[in-house]
């Protein structure tokens, strides 16, 4: 789990992202603040997904909000006590490398004009990235033709 910065109305906002050990996106969330409350909300959202399994290990960077959020979630029972938390700056390289794709799309746009627009656009970017990574059933990674057919069937668009 990690966060990256996105510019909205000239101010930095935080895009929280979680990926599994295989590089598959688990969840993402755009927040205005980078604090314990935002981290708790993100963890709750990520853990309640139908595709999410209970984690054995959560790897985070040195942001002090993460251990506090995880401790609180363990108290309420959302995360099992057996779940290990690794707070090591460079151990989350999988998610750091996954940020590159989003940054590559956002950077040329020089930021967004509203939080709502940023959130809707980022959801589209993340969804397309998940399709390209092969996270859609029946559409494998690198299968461009199947990916195009999936999007065409989904939206009724001709590519």
Q: How many domains does the chain have?
A: 1
Q: In degrees to the nearest 10, what's the CA dihedral of 136, 138, 140, 146?
A: -100
Question: What does the radius of gyration of the chain's CA atoms come to, in whole angstroms?
Answer: 17
What pLDDT score does 50 carry?
67
Q: Inform me whether the pLDDT recorded for 159 exceeds 70.
A: no
Q: Inform me whether the pLDDT recorded for 23 exceeds 80.
A: yes
Q: How far apart are CA 152 and CA 4, in angstroms?
A: 31
Any idea what the CATH number is for the domain that residue 64 is in?
A: 3.30.420.10
What pLDDT score does 106 carry?
86
> Which structural domain range is residue 138 located in?
2-155
User: Mean pLDDT over residues 13-23, rounded?
Assistant: 88
Q: What is the pLDDT of residues 108-147, one digit of tens each?
A: 877 899 999 999 999 988 888 888 888 888 788 878 888 8
158 confidence band (pLDDT: 50, 70, 90): low
Q: What is the pLDDT of residues 85-119, one digit of tens each?
A: 888 777 667 777 778 888 888 888 778 999 999 99
Query: In residues, how long is the chain?
Result: 159
User: Mean pLDDT over residues 23-40, rounded?
Assistant: 91
Q: Inform me whether the pLDDT recorded for 12 exceeds 80.
A: yes
Q: What is the pLDDT of residues 51-95, one digit of tens each?
A: 777 888 888 888 899 999 999 999 998 888 898 888 877 766 777
- pTM of the prediction? 0.81
User: Mean pLDDT over residues 15-30, rounded?
Assistant: 88
């Amino acid at each position: 789990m990690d966060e990256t910065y996105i510019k909205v109305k000239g101010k930095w906002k935080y895009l929280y992202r979680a990926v599994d050990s295989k590089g598959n996106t688990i969840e993402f969330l755009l927040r205005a603040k980078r604090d314990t409350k935002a981290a708790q909300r993100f963890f709750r959202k990520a853990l309640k997904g139908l595709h999410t399994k209970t984690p054995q290990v959560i790897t985070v960077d040195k942001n002090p909000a993460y251990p506090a959020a995880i401790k609180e979630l363990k108290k309420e029972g959302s995360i099992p006590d057996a779940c290990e938390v690794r707070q090591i700056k460079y151990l989350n390289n999988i998610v750091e490398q996954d940020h590159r794709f989003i940054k590559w799309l956002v950077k040329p746009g020089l930021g967004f004009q509203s939080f709502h627009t940023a959130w809707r656009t980022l959801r589209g970017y993340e969804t397309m990235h998940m399709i390209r990574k092969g996270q859609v059933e029946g559409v494998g990674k690198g299968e461009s033709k199947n990916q195009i057919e999936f999007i065409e069937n989904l939206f009724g668009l001709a590519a």
